[in-house]
């Protein structure tokens, strides 16, 4: 439980590169939802929440952005700056996204459908839930 930066295998040849994402193979969950964040305006910060029960894999398929991941004790910054870097997040982790490059397309694969009830959007509540 937590997060892990995965190196996604690039299938490349003289024409360029290709990465395949396959559920329960290189993606360690069944994929119920895919969304992507793009055209993010300058200096915008996103996220600022945790999930009760969700697995996600985030990939900057174009451009770059920074994730801040916080388990209630430590905060770590991870720069997603390559289409071959996949950030797997599961369990109770507070996440924020910062410093989007103008061309950033952040693709997210998720293990569950969108459900606002799964979100913890207040940091104090996140710490409270961690302590229970």
Active site amino acids: 49
Rounded-to-integer distance, Cα 77 and Cα 64, Å: 13
Residue numbers of the site for ligand TYD (CB under 6 A)? 33, 35, 37, 46-47, 49, 114
Tell the smallest beta-carbon distance from residue 50 to ligand TYD (Å): 11
Tell the smallest beta-carbon distance from residue 122 to ligand TYD (Å): 13
CA atoms within 13 A on the CB side of 115: 11
Closest residue to ligand TYD, based on beta-carbon distance: 46
Q: Per the structure block, which two tokens stand in for 94? A: 């507070």
Decide whether 65 or 132 has the Cβ nearer to ligand TYD. Answer: 65
Rounded-to-integer distance, Cα 98 and Cα 88, Å: 17
């Amino acid at each position: 439980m937590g997060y892990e930066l995965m190196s996604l295998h690039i299938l490349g040849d003289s024409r360029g590169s290709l990465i395949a994402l396959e559920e329960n193979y290189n993606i360690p969950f069944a994929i119920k939802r895919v969304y992507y964040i793009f055209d993010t305006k300058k200096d915008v910060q996103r996220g600022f929440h945790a999930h009760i029960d969700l697995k996600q894999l985030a990939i900057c398929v174009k451009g770059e952005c920074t994730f801040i991941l916080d388990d209630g004790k430590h905060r770590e910054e991870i720069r997603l700056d390559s289409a071959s870097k996949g950030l797997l997040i599961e369990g109770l982790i507070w996440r924020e996204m910062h410093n989007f490059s103008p061309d950033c397309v952040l693709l997210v694969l998720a293990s569950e459908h969108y459900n606002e009830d799964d979100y913890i959007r207040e940091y104090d509540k996140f710490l409270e839930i961690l302590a229970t």
